[in-house]
């Protein structure tokens, strides 16, 4: 960064400070070692936020034979230790570490400058009769005086790191049948993705209890900080769609009716233009007419509203039956396939070490279902304020992009 920064003295100071941190012993280390020896190494376990952190701590504590595990390993191994010393603040770990403890006692060791020291509690505790209330004691070591820090003013805040989106390259043209408008999303782990205007996308909430972490979230509700579950190399929707058709007795006929009305709608959009198509659909009584372009996507089976779908078919000159019935059957089949995949994903997520996800921001999950291998959980860092026109096949497929690295 030397060539891009005018204040070379500040850069030198930052570099020197980083070098000192790398060779200095953490004050927490002395507290951790003393605590382990006081309790007895056979009666305690040290919990680390990630596998690399656990490996580093284990190498340091191996002379004392102290057991070091990640939070996920602690739940699986369930050692006969009475005390757990957790390195890092509670928010770095899943809530079950406290609400469903493996050990009788838990102590978090964290630096004083980390302000959030709140301990998680059970979501149902406020409503349960005789529920346990988790209490915490705060013990401090050394100098805890707060340093004087000048926070950035509003004028200075604009110089903090921000995504560099550039200008829109698609101009004012409308997408073709094989294109969609999509927002660029920067993901943790040096990845990015084009998110189109579909109805929903699969997400992961590590704060939810086991069995309730995998869900669908509406596209409108996607925000920075949301964890998405993505298929590496290709989108999940195509595999779900094919699996749903394959389990139907008249799958070929169902698929043929779907292709027919979607091609008619795509042709209308090409002939009239998107805006005029929307106006005509609204005159025909279709309340969600602005979704016309999205309905041409093979993976979006039909409009959510029965009335909108019937009026759309009538406007296209298509007999309501059997197209309406077949589309409804396909949607039901798709929900069943999706529910089965969700159960398998829940099992895979429950077996994964989610503390690594919270600490690092992304996690590859071992998932053995056919057509769904290579599942990636990644946190959204930023969403572009404008859309670009991209190939339909490129939407929702993660790709390497280093432009969001400095936001992690």
pTM, two decimal places? 0.52
Task: Give the closest residue to 288 by CA, choosing from 263, 301, 307.
Answer: 307
| 372 — pLDDT class (breaks 50, 70, 90) | low
For residues 31 and 105, membership in a common domain is answered with yes
Choice between 269 and 371, residue whose per-residue pLDDT is larger? 269
Q: Please provide residue 378's backbone torsions phi and psi, each rounded to the nearest 5 degrees.
A: -140, 145
Confirm whether 370 is domain-assigned: yes
Q: Is the pLDDT of residue 312 over 90?
A: yes
% pLDDT > 70, the chain: 88
pLDDT at residue number 11: 86
Confirm whether 106 is domain-assigned: yes
Each residue of 222-243: pLDDT tens digit? 888 898 988 766 666 667 777 8
pLDDT at residue number 322: 93
Q: Is the pLDDT of residue 371 over 60?
A: no
Distances from the Cα of 157 to the Cαs of 14, 150, 151, 154, 310, in angstroms?
20, 12, 9, 5, 52
Confirm whether 353 is domain-assigned: yes
For residues 108 and 203, membership in a common domain is answered with no
End-to-end CA distance of the chain: 17
Which of 121-135, 277-291, 318-332, 354-368 has the weakest average pLDDT? 121-135
Distances from the Cα of 344 to the Cαs of 2, 124, 373, in angstroms?
49, 26, 12
For residues 178 and 110, membership in a common domain is answered with no
Q: Is the pLDDT of residue 370 over 60?
A: no
Q: Is the pLDDT of residue 95 over 90?
A: no
| DSSP secondary structure code for residue 391 in this structure | E
| 348 — pLDDT class (breaks 50, 70, 90) | confident
pLDDT at residue number 96: 84
Q: What is the mean pLDDT of residues 4-20?
A: 83
Each residue of 180-224: pLDDT tens digit? 889 999 998 888 999 987 778 888 888 777 778 888 888 888 888
Query: Mean pLDDT over all residues of the chain?
Result: 83
H or E element at residue 308: helix 306-316
* Cα(285)–Cα(295) distance, integer angstroms: 16
| 111 — pLDDT class (breaks 50, 70, 90) | confident
pLDDT at residue number 202: 85
Which of 74-78, 134-138, 374-378 has the weakest average pLDDT? 134-138
Per-position b or e across 248-265, b if 16+ CB within 10 A of its CB: beebeebbebbeebbebb
Q: Is the pLDDT of residue 368 over 70?
A: no
Q: Is the pLDDT of residue 155 over 60?
A: no
Confirm whether 202 is domain-assigned: yes
Q: Please provide residue 213's backbone torsions phi and psi, each rounded to the nearest 5 degrees.
A: -90, -25
Confirm whether 297 is domain-assigned: yes
Residues in the chain: 408
The first and second tokens of residue 130, run together, are: 């005789």
Q: What is the mean pLDDT of residues 299-305?
A: 85
Domain containing 64 equals 25-118
Choice between 401 and 137, residue whose per-residue pLDDT is larger? 401
Q: What is the mean pLDDT of residues 118-144?
A: 69
| 152 — pLDDT class (breaks 50, 70, 90) | low
Q: Is the pLDDT of residue 3 over 90?
A: no
| 169 — pLDDT class (breaks 50, 70, 90) | confident
For residues 192 and 275, membership in a common domain is answered with yes
pLDDT at residue number 118: 83
Confirm whether 133 is domain-assigned: no
For residues 330 and 398, membership in a common domain is answered with yes
Helix, strand, coil shares of the chain as percentages rounded to 5?
45, 20, 40
Confirm whether 3 is domain-assigned: no
How far from the centroid of its chain's Cα atoms is residue 236's Cα?
A: 15
* Cα(73)–Cα(272) distance, integer angstroms: 59
For residues 180 and 78, membership in a common domain is answered with no
Q: Is the pLDDT of residue 369 over 90?
A: no
Contact (Cβ atoms closer than 8 angstroms) between residue 324 and residue 310: yes
For residues 313 and 248, membership in a common domain is answered with yes
Confirm whether 183 is domain-assigned: yes
The first and second tokens of residue 118, run together, are: 């709140």
CA angle 198, 204, 208 (to 5 degrees): 130
**89, 118, 147 — which closes off a domain?**
118
How far from the centroid of its chain's Cα atoms is residue 295's Cα?
A: 26
For residues 187 and 273, membership in a common domain is answered with yes
For residues 65 and 170, membership in a common domain is answered with no
For residues 174 and 283, membership in a common domain is answered with yes
pLDDT at residue number 207: 77
For residues 79 and 182, membership in a common domain is answered with no
Task: Give the closest residue to 319 by CA, choosing from 310, 328, 327.
Answer: 310
For residues 299 and 181, membership in a common domain is answered with yes
| 244 — pLDDT class (breaks 50, 70, 90) | confident
| 343 — pLDDT class (breaks 50, 70, 90) | confident
pLDDT at residue number 130: 65
How many structural domains compose the chain? 2
């Amino acid at each position: 960064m030397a060539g891009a920064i005018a204040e070379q003295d500040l850069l030198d100071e930052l570099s020197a400070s980083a070098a000192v941190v790398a060779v200095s012993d953490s004050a927490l280390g002395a507290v951790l070692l003393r605590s382990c020896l006081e309790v007895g190494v056979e009666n305690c376990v040290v919990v680390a936020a990630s596998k690399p952190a656990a490996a580093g701590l284990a190498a340091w504590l191996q002379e004392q034979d102290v057991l070091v595990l990640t939070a996920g390993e602690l739940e699986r191994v369930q050692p006969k230790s009475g005390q757990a010393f957790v390195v890092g603040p509670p928010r770095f770990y899943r809530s079950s570490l406290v609400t469903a403890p493996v050990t009788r006692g838990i102590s978090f060791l964290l630096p004083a400058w980390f302000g959030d020291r709140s301990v998680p509690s059970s979501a149902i505790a406020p409503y349960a009769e005789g529920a346990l209330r988790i209490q915490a004691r705060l013990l401090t070591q050394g100098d805890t005086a707060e340093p004087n820090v000048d926070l950035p003013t509003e004028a200075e805040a604009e110089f903090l790191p921000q995504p560099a989106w550039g200008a829109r390259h698609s101009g004012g043209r409308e997408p073709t049948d094989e294109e969609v408008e999509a927002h660029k999303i920067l993901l943790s782990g040096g990845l990015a993705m084009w998110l189109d205007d579909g109805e929903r996308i699969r997400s992961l909430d590590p704060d939810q209890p086991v069995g309730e972490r995998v869900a669908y979230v509406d596209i409108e509700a996607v925000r920075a900080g949301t964890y998405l579950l993505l298929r590496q190399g290709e989108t999940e929707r195509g595999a779900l769609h094919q699996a749903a058709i394959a389990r139907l007795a008249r799958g070929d006929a169902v698929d043929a009716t779907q292709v027919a009305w979607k091609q008619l709608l795509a042709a209308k959009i090409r002939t009239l233009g998107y805006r005029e198509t929307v106006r005509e659909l609204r005159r025909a009584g279709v309340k969600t007419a602005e979704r016309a372009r999205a309905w041409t996507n093979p993976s979006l089976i039909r409009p959510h509203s029965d009335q909108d779908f019937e009026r759309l078919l009538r406007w296209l000159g298509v007999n309501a039956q059997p197209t309406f019935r077949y589309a409804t059957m396909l949607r039901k089949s798709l929900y069943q396939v999706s529910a089965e995949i969700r159960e398998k994903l829940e099992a895979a997520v429950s077996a994964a070490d989610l503390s690594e996800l919270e600490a690092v921001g992304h996690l590859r999950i071992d998932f053995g279902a056919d057509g769904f291998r290579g599942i990636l959980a990644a946190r959204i860092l930023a969403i572009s304020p404008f859309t670009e026109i991209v190939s339909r096949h490129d939407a929702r497929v993660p790709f390497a992009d280093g432009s969001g690295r400095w936001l992690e």
